[in-house]
Amino acid sequence: MGDWSEITRCSRPQRQQIQDSKEAVKKLEKDGIKEALARNGIKPVDEAVVMLKILLASLLFKLELSYFVEELKNRSKLRKLLNSSEVPDIKEVYGFISKFEEESFRKAIEQMINSLFGKW
């Protein structure tokens, strides 16, 4: 994948990937994830959840982050997929990422992945 039009006209396995993405987004909104973020000093937690949904979805769809954010702004179906009514500017996303030390961010992401998918 690499283009949003490819995502909207997807095959059965790709539709399953989209369904899996929806489930991952729902899990990101759970308290366990928010607690892991707060424990690692990643705050404000609600903003962090929005940013992480954007980051993870862009990775899942194999799209460049700036392109994905623009598509998110332009496509209501994509916002619905992420359960997000507001879309931050790409500068805000990069700013969010840059304000954390690598180690604390890595630990928080690791705990989040473990919470979502079990121990790796």
Q: What is the pLDDT of residues 48-88, one digit of tens each?
A: 889 988 988 887 778 899 999 999 999 998 898 898 888 99
Q: Which helix (H) or strand (E) holds 95?
A: helix 90-98
Q: What is the pTM of this model?
A: 0.72
Q: Residue 67 carries which DSSP code?
A: H
- Rounded-to-integer distance, Cα 108 and Cα 120, Å: 14
Query: pLDDT at position 90, please?
Result: 96
The residue ranges of every structural domain in the chain are: 4-117
Q: What is the mean pLDDT of the chain?
A: 79
Query: pLDDT at position 91, please?
Result: 96
